[in-house]
Amino acid sequence: MAKLPITSAILSNRFERRTFVLGSLQAGVGTLLAARLGYLAVAQNEKYQAASESNRVNLTLIPPRRGWVLDRFGKALASNRADFRVDLIPDRVVDPDRTMQTLAGLLSLPPDKVRDIRDKLDKARGFQPVEVAASLDWEKFAAVSVRLPELPGVIPQQGFSRFYPFGASVGHMVGYVGAASAEDYEKERNPLLVTPGFKIGKDGLEKHFETRLRGVPGARRVEATASGRIVRDLGTREDVPGKPIQLTINAGLQDYAARRIGLESGSVVVMDCETGDILAMASMPSFDPNSFSDGIGRIEWKMLSEDDHVPLRNKVLRGLYPPGSTVKPMVAMAFLEAGLDPSESVGCGGGLRVGNRVFHCWNRRGHGSVDMAKGIYQSCDVYFYHFAQKIGMDKIAAMARRLGLGQEFPMPYPGQSYGTVPDPAWKLKKYGKEWAVYDTVNATIGQGYMLVNPLQQAVMASRIASGRQIMPRLLLDRNAPLPKPMGFRQDHLDYIHAAMSEVVNGRGTAGKARLPVDVLMAGKTGTAQVVGLNIANGKSGQWKYRDHGHFIAFAPFDKPKYACAVVIEHGGGSGAAYPIARDVMTYIFDPAKAMDVLDAFEKQWGGNVQQRMAARYDTFAAKYGASAPKAVPDDEEVTERVEQGRKPSEPTTAQTDAASPRPEPEAPAPSQPPAPAPSASPSAAAPTGGQ
Amino acid sequence: MPRAYVPAPIARQPWSVLLPLMALVSFGAAVLDSAAGGRFDVWAMSHVVRFCVFLIMAMVIARLPQELFRKMALPAYAVLCVLLMLVELIGGIGGGSQRWLNLGFMTLQPSELMKPGIVLVLAWFYSVLPVGETQSWRALAPAGVLLGIPAGLVMLQPDLGTGLAISFGAVVVMFMAGLPLRWFLGAGAAGLVIAPLAFFSLLHDYQRKRVLVFLDPENDPLGSGYHITQSKIAIGSGGLIGKGFGNGSQSHLNYLPESHTDFVFATMAEEWGMFGGLFVLIVFGLIFRWGLKVSLAAPDRFSRLLASGMTMTIFFYMCINLMMVMGLAPVVGIPLPWMSHGGSSMMTNMICIGTIMAVERWSRSAPKGLS
């Protein structure tokens, strides 16, 4: 082309052609734009309309009120109360330090609380609200509300918070609630979980019945601008409160039992032995679910986690203990079923020689001629050593299981411990060793491999008391049919009942357990050793080496209605347990009388549970102040630690050889021998007695 | 229009462009009224007033003789280059990027004026270049320098959108001047190679981000992709007939950013739907058809190049803006002519229109034929 001479005509022609190209380009672009417009506005209209709506309408969830937890009489164990609260949305906070400083001033937050919140703020994900304070009074709430413009990310709101009127008394049973963790959110992907002020069940019934208790959130629909300014209200949907659950618990009794445990570490279970209703299920020391639900502070956490009384463990379901002599009525039942004549006697001279070994009775002086009744009320070990060998371990183990030991109950709690009822087959399977004579000896006095939890002991007491196949129930069902009979002969039951009544009301080991009301209670003491006599005598010395105290009981003895099991960890023997059982049972028949006793005790102990926990908290706060070294764990970690607390407390020194029964403090024997000397038995401490 | 019933001064006016312009501006005013929440005085009023003022300016430009255009081409270009350098200097002293000069009574954005300026100077250059030279390097090198200086200065500001608009106008004039096609194809091929390199070395961070976001807006829906996403939602939710005048939630609730300037088309499409969009496209089509018709009928080489260059400058505005709001191009700050609220672009576009109107006048008075 360059070869040709270029003329104006050629250029002009070229211009016209190229103008056409430009025109075509314009038309092409116009078509493209029109097509794109059609694609967006028509083909994808639905998608973008939805997006536009979700821009326009801002849905604010209103956390539903949680269903109440009621006791059998309709009294609230967990309720809601209206409160004012202040939350922080970490993402929206511009200057955390300044914001916290202002809030601390407005809400008069103590320094340790401020540090707790700062810790949480640092850890929190952007969407997760951090609670600054709840249960605020109107003045403080208003003070924060008016200063909102200078406090971005601060959300004051009116809502409901969970309230547990009985505090620590129901901590383990009811559980507690807390803000949903990131993991909860991953699991459920429900925007409700990250709504400020919403709490989900974290433990106990609150967790197990989460879906039932939760309810349906309300919602407020508003038209809002991109910057969040609300233009107008489009309507509000009320929340639907969660459904209540009614328990078989008697709130007053539960509270009494928890308080009566006092300074000890232990648990009390009271059951209706006709129906299986659990009337009280206390494990102390405990935590206050009210303060757990507000988020645990660093000082409180330190206080709870450093306590050797493990307040985070629900001992009723997760504590495992050798039951000691409380198994003797059960063993006697096995003897009767096996055809043993209860009047058949054995002479107790303080011990029983089996082969080349001597198994001691707890009473070294001996009980003389002992029949079954005396074997029970005097808790004579030799009687049981003797006949257990005759009847055989298999029959005893079968009876133990029949009465509920080692049984798994369908209770609404995770991670229960069910313990062990040993027999030859079990030992062979677990340890690959043959069953030995001393294993039978240990098992018949509730030592050795045998481990039970307090609920199982209460079930055992109930089944012996009523002769019915009692299953523990926590949810109230007034129309449930009565449990079927166990199939025991009534005269066998009457015999055992009489012997157990003798323990309390006659010549037995727990004379001081007699009720101060016109009702006769039957019971059985138990003292379980924790370590061999070579380490400690079980009565005094280091707390963790002291014997466990047990007591099972039912009343009235001739027409059993209520059964009870008390376990006091390291209480030094059954003497720590039966006074509690006595007072708890008294409360059922005469609450006023029982309260007088408790009031006197609480004066000695330094106040009721709340007051003692508050005092303890103050001590910790004074000692560590805001500088508590341990950072407050987040929710997951608390859950984990509580989980650890669930692990059964297997005795560290498993009594694989021979245990030594411990003397009952209340023994009516002429004179109590001083701490029994360790047995001369070559391999280990031989049994020395029982109660 | 029957002449007999219409007075000659009115009939003489170029109605084939004035009517579409008035339609566009009125529609734009309605949209701006709605974008301001139903208040006419916020944006719509000044929009209409500006149009009237600049329309008078365009009429004045239209009456200028061709000789004046030719004489003024180079001096105007030189003055604009000096102003651009001034802006650069002042911006350098003040820190950050500055694009305007404060003249006291108004702020002047020289880069805006450079858009018609570059078309004018190149049209003049090719009209004085001997016909035989159009295929040689002498047709390219001076034009390259003429373009390089302002484009470079504008890009330095940095204002990628305006820089591209200036270059586009210049390239269109060169193309229409009859430069060999293989140069354009070659430059296009080279551009494909250089673009990725420029992307990583020459662009500023925020510019690079815009391009990346354009390629994948969902990647960052609340950050830089926000503009594109919200604009698409506004247009898409409008549907066929729109949500109705004054009912656009995207713009009224501020989800759509820049709803009265760069993204005014999205504001419009939300309330008027696809029909409103097609109306705008058709009106623009009428304007461009008029521009190209004028350039085809122009009496000489200078006026031809001038008219086609001006037309394509306006086209570039519209094309980039609409592609941007519909998610076909990265977010660059280019307003939609006659609809977006803003004085500078209104002035530029009206200068272009005035120039094309002038060309139309010349062709009426001059004897029909080749130069």
State the smallest CA–CA distance between residue B240 and chain A in angstroms. Answer: 6
Residue A642 has pLDDT above 70, yes or no: no
Instruction: Using an 8 Å CB-CB cutoff, list chain A residues near B175.
Output: 18
For chain B, say whether A36 makes contact (Cβ under 8 Å): yes
Q: With contact defined as beta carbons under 8 Å apart, do B32 and B264 qualify? A: yes
| A291-316 pLDDT per residue, tens | 877 667 777 777 777 777 778 888 88
Mark yes or no for CB contact A5/B132 under 8 Å. Answer: yes
Is a pLDDT exceeding 80 seen at residue B1?
no
Per-residue pLDDT, averaged over B107-126, amounts to 89
Cis ω on the peptide bond leading into residue A285 (within 30° of 0)? Answer: yes
Coil, helix or strand at residue B150: helix
What integer pLDDT is reported at residue A29 of this predicted model? 94
Question: Which helix (H) or strand (E) segment is A351 a member of?
Answer: strand A351-354
- B chain contacts of residue A37, beta-carbon cutoff 8 Å: 235, 269, 274, 277-278, 281, 326
Percentage helix, strand, coil for chain B under 3-state DSSP, each rounded to 5: 75, 0, 25
pLDDT in tens, A180-192: 877 888 888 887 8
Q: Do A55 and B296 touch (CB under 8 A)?
A: no
Query: Which pLDDT band, with edges at 50, 70 and 90, does B294 fall under?
Result: very high
A8 Cβ under 8 Å from any chain B Cβ: yes
* Interface residue B293 vs chain A (CB under 8 A): no
Lowest mean pLDDT among A132-141, A166-175, A371-380, A434-443: A132-141
Distance from A191 to chain B by nearest Cα, in Å?
Answer: 19
Q: Rounded to an integer, what distance in angstroms lies between the CA atom of residue A463 and that of residue A457?
A: 10
Least confident of A48-57, A87-96, A370-379, A595-604: A87-96
Q: How far is B107 from chain A (nearest CA, A)?
A: 31
Instruction: Report how many Cβ contacts below 8 Å link chain A to chain B.
Output: 142
Residue A239 tokens read as 């929340």
Pick from B177, B180, B322: CB nearest A33: B322
Q: Which of residues 252-281 of B touch A (CB under 8 A)?
A: 253-255, 269-270, 273-274, 277-278, 281
CA distances from B31 to B21, B41, B338 (A): 15, 13, 11
pLDDT at A31: 95
Over 60: is that where the pLDDT of A646 sits?
Answer: no
Q: Where are the domains of chain A?
A: 58-246, 253-646
Contacts of B308 in chain A (CB under 8 A): 15, 19, 22
Confidence band, pLDDT 50/70/90 cuts, at residue A647? very low
Q: Which residues of B touch A30 (CB under 8 A)?
A: 281, 284-285
CATH fold label, A253-646: Beta-lactamase (3.40.710)
Do B357 and B63 contact (CB within 8 A), yes or no?
no
Q: In whole angstroms, give the CA distance from residue A399 to residue A329.
A: 11
pLDDT of residue A26: 93
pLDDT at residue A123, rounded to an integer:
72
Backbone dihedral angles phi then psi of residue A656, each to the nearest 5 degrees: -85, -15
Which residue in B176, B202, B207 sits closest to B191, CA to CA? B202
How far apart are alpha carbons B148 and B370 in whole angstroms?
A: 32
Q: Is residue A562 within a helix (H) or strand (E), and if so which, with residue range?
A: strand A562-569
CA distance readout (Å), A162 to A88, A142, A179, A213: 19, 22, 12, 12
- Give exposure, A161-180, as e/b (b: 16+ Cβ within 10 Å): bbbbebbbbbbbbbbbbbbb
Look at residue A1 in the predicted model and tell me its pLDDT. 45
Residue type, A570: H
Confidence of residue B254 (pLDDT cuts 50, 70, 90): confident
Q: What pTM value is reported for the model?
A: 0.65
Helices (H) and strands (E) in chain B, counts: 14, 2
Pairing outcome for strands A265-272 and A562-569: antiparallel
Q: What pLDDT score was predicted for residue A648? A: 44
A459-482 mean pLDDT: 90
Q: Which of B71, B169, B74 is nearest to B112 (CA)?
A: B169
- pLDDT of A36 reads 93
Q: Which segments of chain B are extended strands (E)? A: 101-102, 107-108
A423-449: pLDDT as tens digits: 888 888 888 888 888 888 888 888 888
* A365 DSSP 8-state letter: T
Binned at pLDDT 50, 70 and 90, residue A678 comes out as very low
Query: So what's the pLDDT on residue B32?
Result: 93
Assess contact for A528 and A535: CB atoms under 8 A: no
Which conformational region is residue A65 in: left (phi greater than 0), alpha (psi within -120 to 50 degrees), or beta? beta
Compare CB distances from B249 to A1, A47, A52 and report the shortest one's residue.
Answer: A52
Residue A631: the pLDDT is 45
pLDDT of residue A457: 92
Q: What is the ipTM of this complex?
A: 0.90
What is the per-residue pLDDT across A490-502, written as a single tens digit (0 to 9) for each? 999 999 999 999 8
Name the average pLDDT for chain A: 81
For the cut 90, the answer to whether the pLDDT of residue A606 exceeds it is no
- Only one residue has tokens 């648990």, namely A267
Has residue A670 got a pLDDT over 80? no
- The verdict on B235 touching A (C-beta cutoff 8 Å) is yes
For residues B284-292, give the mean pLDDT.
Answer: 94
Is the model more confident about A679 or about A48?
A48
φ and ψ of A81, to 5 deg: -130, 145
Write out chain B residues lying below 8 Å of A11, CB-based: 131, 134, 177-178, 301
Assess contact for A503 and A521: CB atoms under 8 A. Answer: no
Residues ≥6 apart with Cβ < 8 Å to A35: none
DSSP B31: H
pLDDT recorded at residue A612: 84
Q: How confident is the model at residue A676 (pLDDT cuts 50, 70, 90)?
A: very low
If one compares B151 and A689, the residue with the highest pLDDT of the two is B151
Q: How many helices (H) and strands (E) does chain A have?
A: 25, 19
Confidence label for A686 from pLDDT (cuts 50, 70 and 90): very low
Q: What is the mean pLDDT of residues B187-201?
A: 82
pLDDT tens digits, residue range A490-539? Answer: 999 999 999 999 888 888 888 888 888 888 899 999 888 887 766 777 77
Task: Tell me which residue has tokens 């049994």.
Answer: A687
Identify the weakest region by mean pLDDT among A408-417, A470-479, B163-172.
A408-417
- pLDDT tops 70 at residue A369: yes
* Domain residue ranges in chain B: 15-63+204-302+312-365, 68-201
Nearest to A22 among B274, B292, B322 (CB): B292
Which of B172, B179, B233, B275 should be substituted to probe chain A, the one whose Cβ sees the most A Cβ atoms within 10 Å?
A: B233
Which has more pLDDT, A483 or B366?
A483
A7–B131: do the CB atoms touch at under 8 Å?
A: yes
The per-residue pLDDT for B222 is 55
Best-predicted range by mean pLDDT among A39-43, A130-134, B155-159? Answer: A39-43
Smallest CA-to-CA distance from B118 within B333, B261, B297, B312 is with B312
| pLDDT at A668 (0 to 100) | 38
d(CA A301, CA A621) in angstroms, rounded, equals 11
Query: Taking Cα atoms as reference points, which of A598, A514, A599 lies closest to residue A551?
Result: A514
Asked which of A297-301, A394-398, B76-80, B105-109 is least confident by mean pLDDT, the reply is B105-109
Residues forming a β-bridge with A568 = A266, A549
Statement: residue A654 has pLDDT above 50: no
Instruction: Name the minimum distance, in Å, from the CA of B313 to any CA of chain A.
Output: 12
A7 near B CB under 8 A? yes
Where are the alpha helices (H) located in B12-136, listed in sequence order?
15-35, 44-62, 66-94, 110-128
The answer to whether the Cβ–Cβ distance between B240 and A231 falls below 8 Å is: no
- Six token digits for residue B291: 């521009």
- Among all residues of chain A, which has the CA nearest to that of B300? A12
Mean pLDDT computed over B217-240: 78
| Domain A58-246 indexed as CATH 3.90.1310.10 | yes
Q: Token pair of A540, please?
A: 């005094």
Structure confidence by residue, pLDDT tens digits, A315-341: 888 888 899 889 999 999 999 988 888
Distance CA(A372)–CA(A367), nearest Å, equals 12
Q: Token pair of B287, please? A: 């304007």
Contact A55 B269 (CB under 8 A): no
pLDDT of residue A673: 36
3-state DSSP assignment of residue A547: coil
> Token digits for B326?
């519909």
Smallest CA–CA separation between B275 and chain A, in Å? 10
What's the gap in Å between the CA of B103 and the closest CA on chain A? Answer: 36
From the list A642, A639, A633, A636, the residue with the least C-alpha distance to A183 is A636
**Closest Cα of chain B to A89: distance in Å?**
18
Interface of A with B in 411-430 (CB under 8 A): none
Residue A267 confidence class, pLDDT cut points 50, 70, 90: very high
Can you give the pLDDT at residue A625?
64
Q: What percentage of chain A carries pLDDT values higher than 70?
A: 87
Residue B87 three-state SS:
helix
What is the per-residue pLDDT for B220?
A: 57
Name the A residues in 387-416 with CB < 8 Å from any B CB.
Answer: none
H helical segments located in A251-371: 251-261, 289-293, 298-305, 315-318, 328-337
Mutual orientation of helices B264-297 and B226-238 as an angle, nearest 10°? 80
Question: Has residue A629 got a pLDDT over 60?
Answer: no
The C-alpha atoms of residue A116 and residue A631 are separated, in whole angstroms, by 8
CA–CA dist A227, A498 (Å, integer): 79
Of A12-26, A99-113, A127-141, A474-488, the least confident: A127-141
Is the Cβ of A32 closer than 8 Å to some Cβ of chain B? yes
CB contact under 8 A, A47 and B301: no
The pLDDT, as a whole number, for residue A666 is: 44
DSSP string, A206-273: HHHTHHHHH-B-EEEEEEE-TT--EEEEEEEE--BPPPPEEBS--HHHHHHHHHHHTTSEEEEEEEET
